[in-house]
Homo-oligomer: A and B are copies of this chain.
Amino acid sequence: MDGKVLNLKSKIEIYKAMTDGANFADCPVRDVIQGINGKWSPLLVMALAEKPYRFGELRRLVPDISQRMLTQTLHELQRDGYVHRKVFPTKPPSVEYSLTDLGRSMFVPLYQLVQWAERNHDAVREARAAFDDAQA
């Protein structure tokens, strides 16, 4: 882990040198992370990693997403190359969304994070409770 932190430190130094400033606002990684990092994106990627879904199926699977945000988030995921959109010319045309190879590749580390969340949500819940108690 120390090695990783050292790598990060070097990267920050490199970015500082590259941008001739003292920041890493223009970091290309930020750009990519933002795309994964929306409110609904990880959830939809998780769902589509299981199997392809149609629009309405996703809407039912994630009932607290609005149609508007579902459309928009899928559009962004498609634009970034994580999701493939396939239209079936049935009478009411249906649309199937699935992960691309890039999406499946991104899912691997995303899933690591989800597993961490799964293992540690008790700790986070306790930290929140302790913090809120201390405030009150």
A residues in contact (CB < 8 Å) with B: 1, 4-5, 8-9, 12, 21-25, 28-39, 42-43, 46-47, 49-51, 60-64, 78-81, 102, 104-106, 108-118, 120-121, 123-128, 130-132
Do the beta carbons of B108 and A116 come within 8 Å of each other?
A: yes
Nearest first, the 3 A-B pairs at minimum CB distance are A81-B127, A32-B117, A109-B112
**How many copies of this chain does one complex carry?**
2
- Contact between A111 and B22, CB atoms less than 8 A apart: no
Instruction: Classify the interface of chain A: helix, strand, loop or mixed.
Output: helix
Task: Please indicate the chain B residues that have their CB under 8 angstroms from the CB of A22 in the complex.
Answer: 60-61
Bound-state CA distance A59–B91 (Å) is 55
What's the Cα separation between A36 and B117 when bound, in Å? Answer: 10
Contact present for A61 and B1 (CB under 8 Å): no
Do B113 and A109 touch (CB < 8 A)? yes
Query: A37 contacts which of B9, B12, B42 (Cβ < 8 Å)?
Result: B42
Q: How far is the CB of A122 from chain B (nearest CB, A)?
A: 9
With A80-B124, A102-B124, A109-B112 already in contact, the answer to whether A5 and B63 are too (CB < 8 A) is no
Q: Report the bound CA distance from A39 to B38 in whole Å.
A: 8
Within 8 Å CB of A109, what residues of B? 109, 112-113, 115-116
What are the residues of chain B within 8 A of A42 when measuring CB–CB? Answer: 33, 37
